[in-house]
Homo-oligomer: A and B are copies of this chain.
């Protein structure tokens, strides 16, 4: 059993209003010097171990978790 972390983020060229809202709110909470805030999804799942694990998970992310037109994803196996 492997624990897999998948991060799904908007591509850099796609506007991220949620990230911008956070960036604008931070100074009023006393946090200065923060830039480039981007918000995405973090998916954690447990998968049965097998040889092609990373390939399978990437396929899964591509088909179900991310919209490849506007999002990119990274996979981390623990």
Q: What's the number of copies of this chain in the assembled complex?
A: 2
Report whether B35 and A22 are in contact in the complex, using a CB–CB cutoff of 8 Å: no
Q: Please encode chain A, from 12 to 50, with 1 for each CB lying within 8 Å of some chain B CB and 0 for all others.
A: 000000010011011001011111111111111111101
Q: Per a CB cutoff under 8 Å, which of B35, B40, B47 touches A42? A: B40
Chain B neighbourhood of A5, CB < 8 A: 7
Q: Does A69 contact B (CB under 8 A)?
A: no
Q: Does A56 contact B (CB under 8 A)?
A: yes
CB proximity of A72 to chain B, nearest CB, Å: 12
Interface residues of A (CB under 8 A from B): 5, 7-9, 19, 22-23, 25-26, 29, 31-48, 50, 56, 59-60, 63-65
